[in-house]
Amino acid sequence: ENYHAVLTENRKLFNELQELKGNIRVFCRVRPFLPGQGAPNTVVEYVGEDGELVVTNPTRPGKDGLRQFKFNKVYSPTATQAEVFSDIRPLVRSVLDGYNVCIFAYGQTGSGKTYTMSGPDGSSKEDWGVNYRALNDLFKISQSRKGNISYEVGVQMVEIYNEQVLDLLSDDNSQKKYPFVLNPGILSTTQQNGLAVPDASMYPVTSTSDVITLMDIGLQNRAVGSTALNERSSRSHSIVTVHVRGKDLKTGSVLYGNLHLVDLAGSERVDRSEVTGDRLREAQHINKSLSSLGDVIFSLASKSSHVPYRNSKLTQLLQTSLGGRAKTLMFVQLNPDATSYSESMSTLKFAERVSGVELGAAKTSK
Ligand code: ADP
């Protein structure tokens, strides 16, 4: 009976995976206007079911100001967290079959990166972002396969700030709030599959509530040393890595998969004439790592023979999970407000380059 259930589930999974052709996907998500922000003046002209997006230049009304983009998917501001997750579920599940998956959120500060990845502050289950939903799903499926495959799951959480990698779950700064014993050796065999951060603490997890506890600690540690969490988090990349080791109980063979969930630093351009010192240094580091990430994904998408992983800490760290059999998804986040038009355009141009599809001036609309 059990075997039959697994087969059926795998077949479904296979069909879902078939639909996700290619290894690099770009999904664009437009966030809604927030209450109390004045009269909404949107740049989003059209969102198509097939991934078409048309934006309008607020200073050039009419046909000339229209630009058309095409991504694997575009979400209108009304899309729910559940809808978004249902589209990426097959990708997340493939980790349990031994794939490496990276999911990024890219966009200017305030465009909804953290909302998509984690959800709003103190969110209820309904508002959960990709992180919690992904882990929840992984645990559910691993339970359902219990009789056939035994899974172990471990979580790491790091931050890259000014090209330095910081362990957000280090025993030193987590004030020992985590109830489990730190056991970095638990999944040491994942090294065969490329361990993301060799020196960062890894915790074994067996339930979604373990993960919530860990992420809370990580978030607290992220805030240390900065006046406001928002300020700091917009200038650093945060990476949650989920390592999975599955042992087939009949054959004894072992598979490894990992999932990287990356909330990138804000992509907004900083006016060099206006910042100096620390802010300038931060801005330069962010610029460099985001453009290196763009270069790497573009090289992979265009099947270039040289992939420039070495140009930033971010791409070095994720090297084994970008390219090859690994699957990459980038959420490109947009603030629809007319005042953000030029930032949105630079976000969309980045996304266009990454996806390898450039359309330019809108030929069709609506
Ligand atoms: P970022 O991480 O890019 O700086 P946030 O995720 O913090 O942006 O989003 C900025 C604000 O917009 C937050 O108050 C967040 O709750 C809200 N927000 C973002 N996306 C959505 C959405 N899809 N639905 C409702 N509110 C959203």
Is residue 88 domain-resident?
yes
Alpha helices in the chain (DSSP H): 2-19, 81-93, 113-117, 130-144, 208-223, 229-233, 277-301, 313-317, 341-355
Number of domains composing the chain = 1
Compute, in angstroms, the gap from residue 60 CA to the centroid of ligand 1: 28
114 labeled part of a ligand binding site:
yes
Looking at the predicted structure, is the pLDDT value of residue 88 above 90? Answer: yes
Look at 55 and 10; give whichever has higher pLDDT.
55
Q: Which atom of ligand 1 is found nearest the CA of 121?
A: 16
**In the beta sheet, which residues pair with residue 14?**
none
d(CA 241, CA 37): 35
Residue whose CA is closest, atom 25 of ligand 1?
32
112 lines ligand 1 (CB under 6 A): yes
Considering the domain boundaries, does residue 360 fall inside one?
Answer: no
Question: What's the ipTM?
Answer: 0.99
Which atom of ligand 1 is least distant from the CA of 333? 3
Helix, strand, or coil here: 281? helix
Write out the residue range of the structural domain in which residue 197 sits: 2-355
What's the pLDDT tens digit per position in 287-323? 999 999 999 988 888 888 899 999 999 998 888 888 8
Give the CATH number of the domain where residue 123 resides.
Answer: 3.40.850.10
* 243 phi, psi to nearest 5 deg: -100, 135
Is residue 363 a part of any domain in this protein?
Answer: no
pLDDT tens sequence across 165-206:
888 887 665 444 443 333 343 333 333 334 445 567 888 888
215 CA → ligand 1 middle, Å: 18
Using CB atoms within 10 Å of the CB of residue 233, give its burial: 0 to 12 exposed, 13 to 18 middle, 19+ buried.
Answer: buried
CA–centroid distance, 112 to ligand 1, in Å, is 4
Please give the Cα distance from 186 to 203 (Å, whole number).
8
Q: Which atom of ligand 1 is nearest to the CA of 107?
A: 3
98 part of a folded domain: yes
Least confident among 182-191, 203-212, 250-259: 182-191
| 145: confidence class by pLDDT, cuts 50, 70, 90 | very high
Lowest mean pLDDT among 22-26, 44-48, 101-105, 164-168: 22-26
Residue 247 lies in a domain: yes
- For residue 147 and ligand 1, the question of a CB distance below 6 A is answered with no
Report pLDDT digits (tens) over 36-81: 877 789 999 999 888 899 999 999 988 889 999 989 999 999 999 9
Average confidence score pLDDT of the chain: 82
Q: Specify if 90 maps to a domain.
A: yes
Q: Would residue 364 count as lying in a domain?
A: no
Amino acid letter, residue 21: K
Cα 176 to chain center, whole Å? 28
Q: What's this model's pTM, rounded to 2 decimal places?
A: 0.87
> What CA–CA distance (Å, rounded) separates 293 from 132?
25
Nearest CA owner, ligand 1 atom 23: 31
* Helix and strand counts by DSSP (H, E) for the chain: 9, 12
| Mean per-residue pLDDT, 244-259 | 91
Beta bridge mates, 100: 258
pLDDT-derived band at 358 (thresholds 50, 70, 90) equals: low
315 is in an annotated binding site: no
Asked if the structure places residue 365 within a domain, the reply is no
Establish whether residue 115 lines the binding site of ligand 1, counting it when its CB lies within 6 angstroms of any ligand atom: yes
Q: Please give the pLDDT value at position 356.
A: 67
Q: Which residues contact 265 (CB under 8 A, 6 or more apart)?
A: 234, 235, 236, 237, 286, 289, 290
Asked if residue 164 belongs to a known ligand binding site, the reply is: no
